[in-house]
Amino acid sequence: MTEDGSIAASENEATSGAPAEEELTVEQVLEKAGVIARKALLYAQGEAKPGVKLLDLAEKIELFITDNGGKPAFPVNLGIGNVAAHYTPSAEETAVLGEKDVLKVDLGVHIEGLIVDCAQTIDLSGENGKLVEASKKALENALSVMRVGANSRDVGAEIQKTIESYGFKPIENLCGHSLQHWELHAGREIPNVAMGNSLLEEGEIYAVEPFASTGSGRVREATDSAEIYSLMGAKNVRMQASRRVLELVAEEYRTLPFAKRWLQEVPMLQFALSDLEKQGLIHGYGVLHDDAKSLVSQAETTVIIEKDGVKVLV
Ligand code: MN
Ligand code: MN
């Protein structure tokens, strides 16, 4: 990104000399990422069939993003049933999609660190239409009240009211979030219930993500080993494998979340990740789930705050 807030078009174009070098604004780059993300959600819908391996599905979606000129802003999350977030298949995962699964596909696309974040719920049995609609409608209603000066609490209230009107619970300890250059969670929140108190400002970028649940409306973090990590800090580390992980992450993902399966080339990978986590240099995200046997739906998009409303990017 240059200092005036514009960003050079793909380096390839510049070096191959084909189209004239083009300067895109931040908003234009985000729009481009949004188009890729929308296509990726559609692609995921077509690929998510019973019997498909979760690992293949995640990898195919990530490859689709890359093939279309973006990069995954985080590992594709495939939350099934009561899993709300932070599940991505491991490199060894053999599980397949079930005939009656309620699947959340949550994906991010970034171009040079400019990020859009979005999600949809796929109801494979067709028996959970109301649950899917609850989070979708909540997202729609949330966007309708967002504009410069709107209070995040009122956006949360809108989400809560909508989901409760369908007879479900909004997940109160998951939030939408502001986004900044290379920062997926940039500090400001859009709650899913009437909580918080901050005024939306012009030009801010937010991911809004209502979750509707048949369970308790609160997620807990599983304690088994994580598949998704992100960088928290950097310093010199003694172990060679740990150094290699830090190098790869700093170069390719920076502070964006990455999957353990993206680093398969590193020998003694699990050892290195545990070492780095102990030193507080990376953070592992446990799977977030509601009560056993409950079902969770999610809808998410990314918007830019404007004077009289929002610009929807995905
Ligand atoms: Mn997301
Ligand atoms: Mn998000």
| CA 108 to ligand 2 center in whole angstroms | 8
| CA 86 to ligand 1 center in whole angstroms | 9
Instruction: Please tell me the CATH superfamily of domain 11-222+287-312, with its number.
Output: Creatinase/methionine aminopeptidase superfamily (3.90.230.10)
| pLDDT over 60 (residue 9) | no
Structure confidence by residue, pLDDT tens digits, 230-248: 999 988 999 999 999 999 9
Each domain of the chain, given as residue ranges in start order, spans 11-222+287-312, 228-285
Structure confidence by residue, pLDDT tens digits, 26-55: 999 999 999 999 999 999 999 999 999 999
| CA 191 to ligand 2 center in whole angstroms | 12
- R_g of the chain, CA atoms, integer Å: 19
Mean pLDDT in residue range 46-71: 98
Per-residue pLDDT at 234:
86
Per-residue pLDDT at 26:
96
CATH 3.40.50.720 assigned to 228-285: no
Q: Which residues are annotated as catalytic?
A: 106, 117, 177, 185, 209, 300
Report the candidate in 226, 224, 229 with the shortest Cα–Cα distance to residue 245. Answer: 229
Ligand (nearest to CA of 208): 2
Ligand (nearest to CA of 104): 1
Structure confidence by residue, pLDDT tens digits, 265-310: 999 999 999 999 999 999 999 999 999 999 999 999 999 999 999 9
Average pLDDT, the chain: 94
Which of left, alpha, beta for 254 (phi over 0: left; psi -120 to 50: alpha)?
Answer: left
| pLDDT over 50 (residue 3) | no
Confidence band of 188 (pLDDT split at 50, 70, 90)? very high
Place of tokens 């949809």: 120
| CA 172 to ligand 2 center in whole angstroms | 14
Per-residue pLDDT at 21:
52
